[in-house]
Every structure is written in C-alpha cells, then in structure tokens.
Amino acid sequence: MLLALLLGLTGCGADPYPGALPGEMHVPLAVAPQSLDPARGSDQYSNTCIVNLYDQLYEYDYYAVPYALKPCLAEAMPEMSEDALTYTIRIKKGVHYIDDPCFAATGGKGREVVASDVKFDILRLMDSKTRSDGTWLFQGRIVGLDEFAEASGSENIAKNTHRSAYTAEEGYPDVTGIEVVDDHTLKIHLVEPYPMLTWVLAMGYASVYPPEAVAYYGEELGVQAVGSGPYRLGQRPARLKHKIVFEKNPTYRADPYPENGTDDMADFVGKPMPFAPRVVATVFEEDQPMWLYFLSGHIDRSGIPKDNFTNSIDEKTKELLPSLAEKGVRLSKDSRLDIVYDAFNMEDPHIGLPAGEKGLALRRAISLASDIDWQIEHLYNGRAREVQGPILDEFREFDASFRNPWKRQPGETREQALDRARKILADAGYPGGKGAPRLEQDVSSGTSGLQFFQAFQADLKAIGLRVDALQMAFPDILKRLRNKEAQIWGMAWGADYPAAENFLQLFYGPNKSPGSNATNFDDPEFNRLYDEARILPPGPERDAKYQRMQEIVTDQCVWIFRVRRVLYSLMYNWLHGYKYNDLSTKYFKYCRIDEEAREAALQKLGKPNPWPLVWAALVLFVLVATTFWAARNTRRAW
C-alpha cells in the first residue's frame, strides 16, 4: 500500500497524458466498462463506450428538449403500416465499417454497412449462447424471434461461438419477422404493436456491427470494437480497467454539427463531426483521484464527490464557489431520469417469495426503517429527492397523490416509522429482530459503496436486524445478479428511453435473470397487466394499468424505492458543446476542446511540487518497514 502511495505521489503534477494531441478530450468513468460487445455491455459505463464506437439505426437528438430521436444509420424515421405491425427502415448508402483484419475478403478494408448486418445483430442478441441481458427488448415482439431464441439453446444447434451466420443447415429456424428486402432496406414484422421499438433501436444493444467481427474475434469482441461510429479504439486494452482511448474514425460518414447546438458552438454549425481527434476515458474507482485530476485540469469535466461538495458549492445558494469559478469552471444542474434503490432477490429462501409472509415482513420492515431523508442530506449533499415508486413525475402515468405504504408517511416521525417496522417484525415472529435470518448485501468496492452500506446497516440495526457486506467489484456484482446469487444489493436504474414502461419491465416475470428483472419477481397479476399495457397507446386505459402495477411492486416491497438524483456537473470553459443528456451518452462527437484556452488555463493552475510528499512517504515507508521487521522478530521469539 505504501509503495502504491509513493508511486502515486511521484505522479502528482506530472502529465498523465503524455503525447496528447491538440484538442484531445479527457473524460472520467466511475467504473471500468464490463464489455465493449454491444450484446453484452449491460452497464452504463460499457454503454458509454459502445455508443461512441458504434452506430445505431437511430440516435437521440442530443440537444433536443423534450427527448427526441433522429436517423443515424437509417435514412429517415421508419415507415409504419396502418396496423402498426410492420416497420420499413431504409439504411444510408456508402457508410463503411472501420478498417480491421476481420475483413479478410477486402484485405482488411472496412466494407459497407448493409441490412443483413442488422438482422444478424438482433439474432445474436437473442441467441441464448450470447447470454445477453438485453433480450427483454425484443422478447415476444418480432415474428419468429422467440422461436429462434428457444432453438438456439437446443443441443442440436451448432455450438460454434465464432459463428458469423445463423443458417438452416446449422439448425436455426428462419426469422421471417426480420426481412432483408435488399442491402439497404429492412422490414420488421411485429407480433403486436410495440410503441417503443424506435427508442429501442437507438440503444447500445441495437448497435450495428459486422458478422465478420464475431467470427474473427469471438469472445475477444468484448475488448475490440468494429463499428462505423465516430470513434474507433485507439488501443486494444487487455483489460478494460484503467484507460480507454478513442481515436477519430478517419472513414466516418458525413455528420454535420446541428443547428440546435450550444451557443458556444454557433460558428461550427454544419461542420463535420467529431471535433476531438482523440478522447481518453480514465477509470476512477475512487472519487478522490478523479477530483484531483479535475482540479489539476487533467480531465475536462467531472461530477462532484459528496466529500468535496462543501468545498465546491455554496451551501446556501447551491451555486459554484468563487474559488472554482475563477479557475474557469462552470456548473450545470440536471435532474436524472433514474431511480436509486435497494433490491431483494425474490427467489431467496430467507427474504424472497419462498419465505412467504416472513419474507414479506422482512422486506416491509427494512423499507420502513430506511432513513431516506438522512441519506439525501448526508450521502447526496441534498442532490436527490425521494421517489415513491417506479413511475417518475415526467411520465404521463404519474399520480402525485400516490404514497408508498411502506415508506415514512407525511407527518410521520422517524421513530413512528421504526415502531411500525418493529411491530411488523414482531407479528411475523421476529420480536426485536430475534430469530430473523442473517442478511447479506452485495456492496461495490470503494469508499462510496461502503458508506452507503454502513447507512443501510445502521438502519437495519435500529430494528434489530443484522446485515453483512459482501464487497466486490461492480462487474462481479452484475455476474452474481445474472446467476441469481445475490440476496440484497443497491443499484440505480437509468431510463433506457423516456417511458414508465422501461422501469416497469424490471419487474416482469419473463425478464428474470439473466434478463433485466434481477429481482426475479414473478407475479401473475403484474405480468398480465404488463402484457395488456405494453401494446396500448398512451391514454387513460394504459394509465390505470401502470398505476396498478406500481401498487403491486410497492406493496410487495420488491425494491426499497429511495431517490432520484440531481446531477451537479462541472466543466472547464475550454470544453465546448457538452450538454448533459440523461438518455444518451453519445456525446463525444459533439464536443470540442479549445486547446489555446486550455493551455493558458493550465499555466495559471500550475503544477504542484511532489518532492516534499515523496520524501515524507519515503520516511513513512522506512518507519513502517522497521516496525514490521521488529514485530516479525518479536513474534518469532514467542
């Protein structure tokens, strides 16, 4: 640990990006991406990388309010039949993949993107051997696709993980619901109306890539990227744990900067994107190193760690302190379309549905004991607000009068809520928590994850329950969720598209792990209502079904619904074009770095002298080493 500290200190003030190109952009990632494979990049950090490396048929109009889509690889928005069951999508001509060795037929030169690629990518997503978390997007939606997914798990199917096609000779049924009319025309035939389809086709899961890449790289596709997007990988990371380099795609299609961009980019309207020649995403698993990088000007934008909030933001005005504003930093405040929650594995024998009324009592008592107000003040610095259920106030189905019965009610004190929780436990045969099972929560590695767990632990202790932490890296938590191994965990779900259905699908039985329903909740009434509502257009009938579904999941306490976050973002004045978009992290191409302004600002920021700290670390190292040696010899004497 001391050696790591010493090495870190010697880097203070040094340039962490030697050889940076003029205009290069530096951004942070809070967690290492799990995979760059579009079919497997289920977390937001992987998705941030994927959408900037790959194109999709549609993409978010980055600056539009409210949220809107625009064509990406598609020539225009889809043509829809009168019965809303057939979508015709025409694909732009002349768009090519990056050059890559996987294209053996062309000597490594990237070929044109064609409609059959889209069909292959959807089939691969649904292939059971791919083990994608994104199958819920198309399950039950496209004619013949469910039959394909089921057949893909058959023992009679070829077990070729490097497959580049799904043929009848291999035993795969043809999916007539995805019709390749010609190289640039695709038709999708739906089982039932699917109002969210176009939003889904803008997601990272729907990224378009060539079958040749799957055949050539196989499992290595998780650390490769063969797309047609604005950037390509500038290096091949053996492990995506420290730094990901994105280089400007030299063969990127014509993509002009839009008219509705930021004011500071008015002179660049119509000019080809991307602007930054290279983007370096540095992974910071701890908040403080990221914060020090930002203060020294080594990353161009950053969030504010909660431990640094009072040193950055005026507690009364909630505005940026002059000390940062004078350095050329500006502040942006944005409500996130997300929910932070704690979840229960509903198949767990101690706290899930198999535990019957006792399990239900535990979940309700834990929900009541959770001190959301304390969390908002102390863990979020006031940058969050409480939510009652899965329907947020941006959605038309939102009911302002709805109150979650297993949360603290208006006018109810903290102690009164705890008394209700204690009575529930006593009625279930756990007076004062006695006899209750010992609980475990999966906790993400790092200081922040531990702090949230400690707050959770203190809340449960107040009603006599004990919970232990299983601390691990975030990707390992995701793996345990896919395998149904976790009992309790904390997580946040950011909306994939602007609809309440995107949150409600997290409780739909057929979406159980390894799908998006990591809680494995499977309620017949909820499932029926979801099936009925998902094909309905917006209106009173759908509103009523959604609201009833919200009542079911809150009454069963599948989640402890905690908060939605308000994001305080900081950025330097040399970063232009950036605007927070909660549904699209495909922002690299829109941003421009004013290199002259950055260099001038960095000269003012100065570089700290690390040598006093280095000598202090050396002295500390010698002292601890001497103490360790003495203790070791003393132990031998015993």
Q: How confident is the model at residue 632 (pLDDT cuts 50, 70, 90)?
A: very low
Kindly state whether residue 629 falls inside one of the protein's structural domains.
no
Contact indicator for 444, 473 with CB cutoff of 8 Å: yes
What pLDDT score does 620 carry?
Answer: 52
Decide if pLDDT at 159 tops 80: no
CA dihedral 475, 481, 484, 488 (to 10 degrees): 120
pLDDT of residue 631: 44
Mean pLDDT, range 393-419, rounded to an integer: 95
Same domain, yes or no: 214 and 342:
no
Of the candidate ranges 56-70, 236-250, 276-290, 490-504, the one whose mean pLDDT is the lowest: 236-250
pLDDT confidence of residue 7: 44
The percent of residues above 70 in pLDDT, for the chain, comes to 91
Contact 93, 184 (CB under 8 A): yes
The first and second tokens of residue 450, run together, are: 């531990």
State pLDDT tens for residues 428-465. Answer: 999 999 999 999 999 998 888 999 999 999 999 999 99
Instruction: Give the integer Cα–Cα distance in Å for 526 and 548.
Output: 8
Give the orientation angle of helix 611-637 with respect to helix 2-10, to 10 degrees: 170
What pLDDT is attached to residue 248?
98
User: pTM for the whole thing?
Assistant: 0.78
- Per-residue pLDDT of 573-630, as tens digits, reads 999 999 999 889 999 999 999 999 999 998 887 644 444 444 444 555 555 555 444 4
Q: Is the pLDDT of residue 240 over 90?
A: no
Same domain, 342 and 214: no
Look at residue 47 and tell me if it is in a domain: no
Residue 116: name the closest of 30, 48, 182 by CA.
182
Judged by DSSP in three states, 242 sits in coil
Instruction: Taking residues 554-561, report their average pLDDT.
Output: 98
Over the range 356-380, which residues count as b (16 or more CB within 10 Å of their CB) and which as e? eebbbbbbbbbbbbbbbeebbeebb
pLDDT for residue 307? 87
Share of the chain above pLDDT 90, in %: 76
CATH number (domain holding residue 553)? 3.10.105.10
In a domain, 610, yes or no: no
- Is the per-residue pLDDT at 291 higher than 70? yes
Distance, in Å, from the CA atom of 624 to the CA atom of 636, rounded to the nearest integer, reads: 18
Asked if residue 263 is part of any domain, the answer here is: no
Which one of 565, 590, 621 terminates a domain? 565
The pLDDT assigned to 154 comes to: 84
Q: Is the pLDDT of residue 257 over 90?
A: yes
- Is residue 556 assigned to a domain? yes
Residue 542 lies in a domain: yes
Per-residue model confidence (pLDDT) at position 637: 30
115 and 182 Cβ atoms separated by less than 8 Å = yes
Number of structural domains found in the chain = 2
pLDDT at 225 over 90: yes
Within a domain: 519: yes
Does residue 351 lie within any of the structural domains?
yes
The CATH code of the domain that includes 202 is 3.90.76.10
Boundary residue ending a domain (530, 550, 565): 565
What band does 101 get if pLDDT is binned at 50, 70 and 90?
very high
pLDDT at 161: 55
Give the type of residue at 375: Q
The mean per-residue pLDDT over the stretch 380-395 comes to 93
pLDDT per residue as tens digits for the range 468-514: 999 999 989 999 999 999 999 999 998 888 889 999 999 999 999 98
pLDDT beyond 60 at 636: no
The pLDDT assigned to 236 comes to 63
Q: What does the mean pLDDT of the chain come to?
A: 90
Mean pLDDT, residues 331-357 taken together: 95
Residue 572: predicted pLDDT: 97
CB atoms under 10 Å from CB of 270, counted, come to 9
- pLDDT at 6 exceeding the cut of 80: no
Give the pLDDT of residue 235: 73
Does the pLDDT at position 171 exceed 90?
Answer: no
- Cα separations (Å) of 335 from 50, 260, 339, 375, 597? 24, 21, 11, 17, 30
Tell me which DSSP letter residue 625 carries.
Answer: H
Q: Among candidates 177, 98, 103, 104, which has minimal Cα distance to 138?
A: 177
Q: Which domain holds residue 124?
A: 57-218
What digits encode the pLDDT tens for the residues 19-39? 899 999 999 999 899 899 999
Confidence at residue 1, expressed as pLDDT on a 0 to 100 scale: 44
Residue 626 confidence (pLDDT) = 55
Domain boundary among 565, 596, 626: 565
Determine the average pLDDT of the residues in 301-323.
Answer: 92
